[in-house]
Structure 1
Amino acid sequence: MNIRFLGTGTSQGVPVIGCDCEVCRSVDFRDKRFRCSVHIETEGKSLVIDTGPDFRMQMLRADIHQLDAVIYTHEHKDHTAGLDDIRPFNFRQKKDMPVYGRSQVLNQIRQEYSYVFSEKKYPGVPQVLPIEIDEKAFEVEGITINPIPVMHHKLPVLGFRVGDFTYITDANYISEESKEKIKGSKILVLNALQKTPHLSHFTLEEAIEMAQMLGAEQTYFTHISHKLGLHREVESELPEGIHLAYDGLMLSLP
């Protein structure tokens, strides 16, 4: 399994428009963050979790030529706004794109992309095959995906476990039942927004505490705000086995 972080930033990305803080002015490539998304390549299949506003540039930058399915964590715009840019994959692969999400996610997509689902479609619109999921395990192209329910303040969000890899973003609460589903992961991804308290995201301290409790061999933090600090400084402060992810980071599991 090959894992590539396509984006590791929060909803505004980094740098933030109009901001002159040291992170937004940083020349370190690790401080340049597209909106959150991850690419998983396993068993010859290519999957993406979330298509945010930067999806087109993420696909170009990662030079991804094949995409077999899109899986959504939740319905917020920074995770769904790039869906229209699946069109080149429709043309290239000559088939509809399977799109997996909870009912509320698919309903939101149908509203925001009403032209995709209209009875009289304009030529060239995205070809989408919506597939509803819940908290039960499901298969994508023969690959078993295990949903991990978490809470984003009062909004239910799904993380996903694929083999020994678990990906969770936009969370500030994980139930004991979900923790049991995560345990045993070799690589865990968690959101760590900033150092100060936030209504709906783990802080850095909370994410570290959760990572240590869950005990993955390696944990990487994502959904990072410019308020967290410079990558090189925060990375140097983290406990062993815990890291900040960055755009373009690639990981592998046997």
Structure 2
Amino acid sequence: MKVTFLGTGTSQGVPVIGCDCQVCKSLDFRNKRFRTSIHLEVDGVSLVVDTGPDFRMQMLRAGIKKLDGVLFTHEHKDHTAGLDDIRPFNFSQQKDMPIFGRRQVLDQIRQEYSYIFSDKKYPGVPQVDCIEIDENPFHINGIAIIPIPVLHYKLPVLGFRIGDFSYITDANFISDESMKLLEGTEILVLNALQKESHISHFTLEEAVQEARKIGAKKTYFTHISHRLGLHDQIDAELPEGIALAYDGLELTLS
């Protein structure tokens, strides 16, 4: 399995428009963050988790030319706003794009992208195949995927586990039942927004605590705000086995 971090930023991205803080003005590429998303390549199957507003540039930057499906964690715009840009994959692959999400996520997509589902479609609109998932394991082209239910304040969000890799973004609560689903995870990705308390995201300290409970061999933090601080400084503060992810980071798991 190969994991590529397509984006590791929060809903506004980093740098933030109009901000002059040291993070937003930094020249370090690790402080420049697209909206959160990852690409997974598993036994030749190419999957993306979430299509945020930066989806087009993420695909171009990562050189992704084949896509077998999109997994949606939840319906917020910073995770769905780039869906229209699956069109080149429709053209090149000559088939509908399978998109996987909870019913409420797919309903939101149908509302926001009503032109995709219109009875009288405009030529060239995206072609999608909506596949409803819940909290039960499912397969995509033979790849087993385990949903991990978490809460983003009061909003249900799904994380995903494939083999020994687990991915959770936009969360501030993981139940005991979901903790059991994470047992044995070797590589964990978890959101860590900022140091200050937040209503719907883990803070840096809370994310460290959750990571220690899960006990993965290596944990990477994502969905990072400019308020967290400079990448190199924060990364140096983290315990052994925990690190900040950054855009373009690639992991290979056996």
Same fold (TM over 0.5): yes
State the TM-score bracket (shorter-chain normalisation). over 0.9
Distance 1:184 1:120 in 2: 49
Q: Which whole-Å deviations, capped at 9, do the CAs of 1:68-117 have from their partners, x for residues lacking one?
A: 00000000000000000000000000000000000000000000000000
Matched, 1:120 2:136: no
Within 5 Å, give how 1:199-238 maps onto structure 2.
199-238=199-238
Q: Which whole-Å deviations, capped at 9, do the CAs of 1:33-79 have from their partners, x for residues lacking one?
A: 00000000011110000000000000000000000000000000000
Q: Which whole-Å deviations, capped at 9, do the CAs of 1:135-193 have from their partners, x for residues lacking one?
A: 00011111011000000000000000001100000000000000010110110000000
State the SS of the aligned residue for 2:178: helix
Within 5 Å, give how 1:45-56 maps onto structure 2.
45-56=45-56
Which aligned segments of 4 or more residues in structure 1 are displaced greater than 3 angstroms?
A: none
State the SS of the aligned residue for 1:26: coil
Distance 2:60 2:226 in 1: 24
Within 5 Å, give how 1:233-252 maps onto structure 2.
233-252=233-252
> Which position in structure 2 is the counterpart of 1:196?
196
Amino acid at match of 1:165: F
State, as a whole percentage, how many aligned pairs show the same letter: 72
> Which position in structure 1 is the counterpart of 2:170?
170
TM-score normalized with structure 2 length:
1.00
> Which position in structure 2 is the counterpart of 1:150?
150
Amino acid at match of 1:251: L
Distance 2:182 2:166 in 1: 7
Distance 2:203 2:177 in 1: 22
Distance 1:156 1:249 in 2: 28
Distance 2:2 2:152 in 1: 27
Unaligned runs of 5+ in 2: none
Unaligned runs of 5+ in 1: none
Distance 1:35 1:126 in 2: 21
State the SS of the aligned residue for 2:105: helix
RMSD over aligned CA atoms reads 0.3
